[in-house]
Amino acid sequence: MVRFVLQRLALTLVVLIGLSMLTFFVARIIPADPILLAAGPRASEAQIQLLRERYGYDRPLVEQYVRYMGDLLRGDLGTSVVLKRDVGPDLARYFPATLELVLAALLIGVLLGVPLGLVAAVYRDRLPDQISRVFSLGMVSIPNFWLAIVLQLILAFTLTILPFTGRFDRLLHPPPTLTGMYTVDALLTLNFEAFGTALRYMIAPAFCLSLGALATIARTVRADLLDVLGTDYIRTARAVGIPTSVLILKYALKNASLNTLTQVGLFFGYTLTGSVLVENIFSWPGIGNYAVSAALTKDFVPLMGVTLLTGFAIVLVNIVTDFFYLVLDPRIKYTS
């Protein structure tokens, strides 16, 4: 186990270094100059050169990367050329909003996808299974940004039962910042009114992001559960009189959950990086909006910070997923 942890940490370091090199050099190779944009159209050559020296853009490319990595090891993610702010505090403010949205989307995907796949497997080739297939195919085929616009038109403008933009009511005070996730902070401080408000703002964007995970989890659970239900030990347990509900929920579902766990881990990364459009449509103040604003202004330092942070989060989730493999199936040995 210790060897496995060390190997994973070493791999994480290698991945982050490679990711930093890729994003840094691609950002510098792109024919766009954030210094000119930050200086403005009326800036003189002397002012532009002063800005280049201030942000280190006048130095050789390799030296810029070495300095960037040195700052990174000290916890300094750099300074936005356009916004004139440190990237680290900005990411600390925006990332919890995106993380909360992604976790809520995955929770919806699991809570709806697992029962849907279970029912489809139990009623194989019958009406519930057919409905599950149509529903899953439809959910995975719908673009989440299109659904986001439709939900805004129906739930916000027509029915007015949910807010359509933002993260919290501007007339109310959000809960005290403990984790940066409003629903979690509201529960920790027992502020149930704030929890309800934050939940109302989060329902629509989280559901839009959950579509892919929901459909894939449902189909994965169905396929794996059918395989497990056809094994000898399940047939033997059924023959000795173990109730079907106990057989499925206690034995079969656990052994059929490994692939589902893999899908959840994969969809964490997919949802985290794919939340940009949904965040923009709902004006959700997360790193997706932050990254888009930086891209439009050709401000590459925030983009590199967002890329490194999301890369680290995805690698960390993959490590946690591997640990859950061991919990679900003790036969798995981490020897490599």
Per-residue pLDDT, 40: 73
Q: Identify which of 96, 102, 108 has the alpha carbon closest to the alpha carbon of residue 181.
A: 96
Per-residue pLDDT, 330: 63
Q: To 10 degrees, the CA torsion angle through 292, 298, 301, 304?
A: 60
**Could you give the CA distance from residue 261 to residue 113 in angstroms, rounded to a whole number?**
12
Q: Assess contact for 277 and 144: CB atoms under 8 A.
A: yes
Residue 79 backbone dihedrals phi, psi, to 5 degrees: -120, 135
- pLDDT higher than 50, residue 335: no
**Could you give the CA distance from residue 175 to residue 194 in angstroms, rounded to a whole number?**
6
Packing angle, helices 258-273 and 300-328, rounded to 10:
170
Tokens of 20: 């930093």
Mean pLDDT for 67-86 is 85
Q: What is the pLDDT of residues 172-221, one digit of tens each?
A: 889 998 999 999 999 999 999 999 999 999 999 999 999 888 988 998 99
Q: Assess contact for 20 and 69: CB atoms under 8 A.
A: yes
Tokens of 271: 């949802």
**Could you give the CA distance from residue 332 to residue 325 in angstroms, rounded to a whole number?**
7
Fold classification of 100-299 (topology level): MetI-like fold (1.10.3720)
Q: What is the pLDDT of residues 273-297, one digit of tens each?
A: 878 889 988 989 999 889 888 888 8
Q: How far is CA 53 from the centre of its chain?
A: 36
Q: Identify which of 330, 127, 129 has the alpha carbon closest to the alpha carbon of residue 223.
A: 129
